[in-house]
Amino acid sequence: MVAFSRLLTGALTFASASIALAAPAGNVTLAERAPVSLSCGADTPPLANMTTPDESQLVVNSAAAVAVPISTVVRVYWNVIYKDATYAGGYLSAAQIASAISALNTQFAGSGITFVRYGTRYYKSVDWFDKVDNQAGMVLTTAMKTLLRVGTAKDLNIYSVGFTTSNLGGFATFPWWYTGAPKLDGVVFKWNTTPGGSLVNYNQGKILTHEVGHWAGLYHTFQGGCSDTGGDYVSDTPAEATPATGCPVGRDTCPGSGADPIRNHMDYTYDTCKSGPFTPGTFSNSTQVAKQANT
């Protein structure tokens, strides 16, 4: 076993926007109508014995930790979970997947990371498409990932699903969860949020960017609220008390810190609002996230 840090310096924070969003009123099927906002499940550990995000997870004291160079290629294995061979049923074409990865690379421009698709698998399952989530023991999620996940800690497994019975936009594992549950590593997100997708306000591929940000070790911009210490651990990201939705220009929930970072990919605003570049603090944070991988 050898430890290495996954991809980026501590918090590779974006100055753009994120994937999480708040449940629509009533029993609205998310595949049919754009919700006011979706929710991001990344703050919920996949197993009960795993820690929630906090500063201690960004500190690496092990001499065995080996830093992965900032300029790196991430192999992407895309798992299309579908319930029938139509777009509405979750069936994404090769062109749609390529467009999503292209958008991901555009939004990570300047990070030194390039995402390259190494494999695509199609798997038909009504239950997984509709009901996979990060709650109630993650029974379906665990079954899905145990069967389909490939590669090592350096590889990104993406699962596009429907979330038709929840208000999730996506969820991801943080790097420090890998050792405890390597098979659960990866990103799960809502299929119709890819570029040109059918979900209004969330169809530029930025939900996936948000979740991949978590996978790389990034927190939400509102992590820690208005606290003077901690937060998202990026010094030049203004503090934010609560998630922003829509595109509330001028919103300032933490007086004295600066306007809320509504353009940041790690907030909850609309895709059209997430237009900011990476902040310099993204790359100045020298702490590394460590995880274990078989070699």
pLDDT of residue 138: 83
Q: How far is 280 from 283, CA to CA, in rounded Å?
A: 6
Per-residue DSSP letter, 239:
P
CATH number, position 194: 3.40.390.10
pLDDT of residue 193: 96
For residue 10, pLDDT over 50 is answered with no
- Give the containing element (helix H, strand E) for 3: strand 2-9
**269: in domain:** yes
Judging by DSSP bridges, how do beta strands 72-82 and 168-172 pair with one another?
unpaired
**59: in domain:** no
**38: in domain:** no
**32: in domain:** no
User: For a pLDDT cut of 90, what percent of the chain falls above it?
Assistant: 37
**39: in domain:** no
Q: Residue 170's pLDDT band (boundaries 50, 70, 90)?
A: very high
pTM: 0.77
**167: in domain:** yes
Note down the domain range covering 104.
2-22+66-293
Q: How many CB atoms lie within 10 A of CB 119?
A: 13
User: What is the count of structural domains for the chain?
Assistant: 1
Q: How far is 131 from 57, CA to CA, in rounded Å?
A: 30
Q: Residue 71's pLDDT band (boundaries 50, 70, 90)?
A: low
240 is catalytic: no
Q: Residue 50's pLDDT band (boundaries 50, 70, 90)?
A: very low
Arithmetic mean of pLDDT over the chain: 73
Q: How far is 56 from 115, CA to CA, in rounded Å?
A: 28
For residue 2, pLDDT over 50 is answered with no
Residues 6+ apart with CB under 8 A from 197: 191, 203
**115: in domain:** yes
**54: in domain:** no
